[in-house]
Amino acid sequence: MKFLIVPDSFKNCMSATNVGKYISKGVKAVFIDANIKVIPIADGGEGTVHAIISSVGGTIKKVQVHDPLMRPIESFFGILPDKKTAIIEMAAASGIELITNDERNPLKTTSYGTGELIRAALNAGCTEITIGIGGSATNDGGIGMAMALGAEFRTSKGKLVNPNGESLMALTDISISGIDKRLKHTSIKVACDVKNILCGSKGAAAVYGPQKGATKEMIVELDAGLTNLAKLVNNKLKIDIDNIKGGGAAGGLGAGLVAFANAKLVGGFDLIAKTLNIEKSIKESDIIITAEGAIDFQTLFGKTPAGVANLANKYKKPIFVFAGAAQDDASKIDNSLITSIVPITRRPIKLPDAIKMAPKWLTQSAIELCNTLKAGINLT
């Protein structure tokens, strides 16, 4: 029997690679001779680079950049075996996990470090770049990223602005004459599963600002700033970034990458699944298992389990979803999409203790699922 395990990470608990390892251990305990293939995956957020490199090979390059508060940090990006394709996750430079809860303030945070990662990829000779933009701490419309690559944003007095969200309202001029010329000859694809536009009630600030520390007053200011940026980009560069689906992702970085780096926004799971050739692996397998830290009804919209399930359904393969926790509304998920949800939590328990128990529970849950499958096989 051929098992394919395509796990996402359990946030703040374990990597996708380790999730796959512990599920695989449980499968092997029951089906000793099983053919097991593990493909760790991420949907563009934290863990994307390591998931791809561990699956298809390549190298991890370390580089010095600036974090969301412009503090120097060591970051990284991946280069695939073809030596020309770079994999970047903005979370590694501009991610919310890089700052404390008390430091969350999207007026002050910047995507500058993400621009530095892009520049490092260009310096490494890469001409194709895939960027995952999940898990951001920022709401600067991508001006920080663009400034790191040589763009200039000035006030009415000709002063260069700071590369953060609170500067957006002060912008009166944009110049891209100094932006890195190599971008013209580089194909940049942005892994983005959200559909939010840049501004308004469904825009970057209104929808995602609160989780980044924005108050109601900040949201109003940030949204006005993004609106100002969109008008300037339209006037100066003749690019309409206000109505791009996904333009509001990562605090407007999606729109900024389109405007300043000539990038294309594509479905995060679809892009990464294609890179990892997941569809072929599903077609060749008998049982499909995916996993995520928490499952709820929103899992159906763009998250890794939904993407894996859609491909499994295409080839009529049974699909099981392991979850650290399953919320009450997970019961609304159509059984025709997912064969079964397998919550691994064993008893009421505090989160820190559940995190410690997760490896053991994953393996035990895999053993129990496989015992059930084995019983079913014996009955038929």
CATH number at residue 167: 3.90.1510.10
Instruction: Check whether residue 224 and residue 296 sit in a common domain.
Output: no
**pLDDT of amino acid 331:** 59
Instruction: Check whether residue 302 and residue 247 sit in a common domain.
Output: no
**pLDDT of amino acid 269:** 82
Query: End of a domain among 238, 268, 298?
Result: 268
**pLDDT of amino acid 334:** 56
Query: End of a domain among 268, 303, 334?
Result: 268
Looking at the chain, list the stretches that DSSP marks H as alpha helix, in order from N- to C-terminal side. 16-30, 48-56, 91-94, 112-123, 143-148, 204-208, 216-237, 249-261, 268-276, 278-283, 304-314, 351-379
**pLDDT of amino acid 329:** 56
**pLDDT of amino acid 336:** 63
Instruction: Check whether residue 209 and residue 74 sit in a common domain.
Output: yes
Q: Would the pTM of this model clear 0.95, i.e. be above it?
A: no
Per-residue pLDDT of 1-35, as tens digits, reads 999 999 988 877 888 889 999 999 999 999 999 99
> Where residue 336 sits, what CATH number does that domain have?
3.40.50.10350
Instruction: Check whether residue 126 and residue 232 sit in a common domain.
Output: yes
**pLDDT of amino acid 302:** 57
The list of the chain residues with pLDDT below 70 reads 43, 296-302, 327-336, 379-380
- What does the alpha-carbon distance between residue 195 and residue 201 come to, in Å, rounded to a whole number? 13
Instruction: Assign residue 180 a region (left: φ > 0; alpha: ψ between -120 and 50; beta: otherwise).
Output: beta
Structure tokens that stand for 344 in this block:
């691994």
Q: Could you tell me if residue 69 is inside a domain?
A: yes
- What does the alpha-carbon distance between residue 75 and residue 61 come to, in Å, rounded to a whole number? 8
190: closest CA among 241, 250, 243, 235? Answer: 250
Q: How many domains is the chain partitioned into structurally?
A: 2
Instruction: Check whether residue 114 and residue 172 sit in a common domain.
Output: yes
Structure tokens that stand for 192 in this block:
């983005």
Q: Could you tell me if residue 120 is inside a domain?
A: yes
Per the listing, tokens 């003749």 go with: 238
**pLDDT of amino acid 185:** 95
What range does the domain containing 169 cover? 48-268
Q: Could you tell me if residue 331 is inside a domain?
A: yes
Instruction: Check whether residue 75 and residue 6 sit in a common domain.
Output: no
Instruction: Check whether residue 55 and residue 34 sit in a common domain.
Output: no
Instruction: Check whether residue 233 and residue 303 sit in a common domain.
Output: no
